[in-house]
A and B are shown apart, each in its own frame.
Chain A
Amino acid sequence: AQSVTQPDIHITVSEGASLELRCNYSYGATPYLFWYVQSPGQGLQLLLKYFSGDTLVQGIKGFEAEFKRSQSSFNLRKPSVHWSDAAEYFCAVDTGGGNKLTFGTGTQLKVEL
């Protein structure tokens, strides 16, 4: 069965610093890959997704992610973090295209002013 690993439970960065959140998946083929953000009181919001093509994908709020097949990774990056980016971030995979998502355990991002 497929699995998703987010090795960092908590990350703290200073506002304006760069950010990279790690995500690794376990699956025989290339899955469909997603990054979601969850803020308190709000539903998960899709930041970006990768289905095929260019391995560097751009998302909303200045986020980007790079798919690396050799490393089974889909890390999320942002060049300059804003205080409003503090939230929980989830990586997810869909291995069959049927919208059944498998989520990682999430990374809680704290931004220091």
Chain B
Amino acid sequence: GAVVSQHPSRVICKSGTSVKIECRSLDFQATTMFWYRQFPKQSLMLMATSNEGSKATYEQGVEKDKFLINHASLTLSTLTVTSAHPEDSSFYICSARDGRGAGGVPDTQYFGPGTRLTVL
């Protein structure tokens, strides 16, 4: 099956620094990738939708200047948490879909293993 990787799996940083998380589709081209945030004992919350070659679409309440998303190629999307603060500590998960959503039917989404961010 299709594989999505994330790097790093775990990162600890100091408050005020920026952290970049990579999401790669290893064996398929992903025109669209999604970034989620998962709080402990809570659900995954969609943060943004990232389309290759265009600006990301952010969900309501997500600061686009805080969470910079770049989708420069069909296999790589990055999430940069800028000027991180302790409240940004969370589990960040990306997913990638293997189609273009033709016909209004969802494509299969493949999820990465997640990145645990801890901001001190």
Interface, chain A (partner B; CB < 8 A): 4, 9, 32, 36, 41-46, 49, 51, 90, 94, 96-106
Contacts and interface: CB of A to CB of B under 8 A. Distances in A.
Contacts of B101: 97-99
B70 interface: no
A99 B34 contact: yes
A33 to B, nearest CB: 10
A98 B99 CA distance: 11
Contacts of A9: 41
Interface string B63-81: 0000000000000000000
Contacts of A32: 105-106
B107 A99 contact: yes
A36 B97 CA distance: 15
Given A43-B4, A43-B111, A98 B43 contact: no
- State which size class the interface on B falls in: 20 to 34
Nearest to B3: A43
Contacts of B112: 43
Contact of B43 (A45, A51, A104): A104
Nearest to B57: A100
B43 A103 contact: yes
B110 A90 contact: no
A99 B97 CA distance: 8
Interface string B38-67: 000111111001000000000000000000
By Cβ-Cβ distance, the 9 closest A-B pairs, closest first, are: A43-B111, A97-B104, A44-B111, A103-B43, A103-B44, A105-B43, A43-B113, A94-B106, A99-B106
B105 A43 contact: no
Nearest to A44: B111
B49 A100 contact: yes
Contacts of A42: 113
Nearest to B114: A43
Contacts of A4: 43
Contacts of A100: 34, 46, 49
B113 A99 contact: no
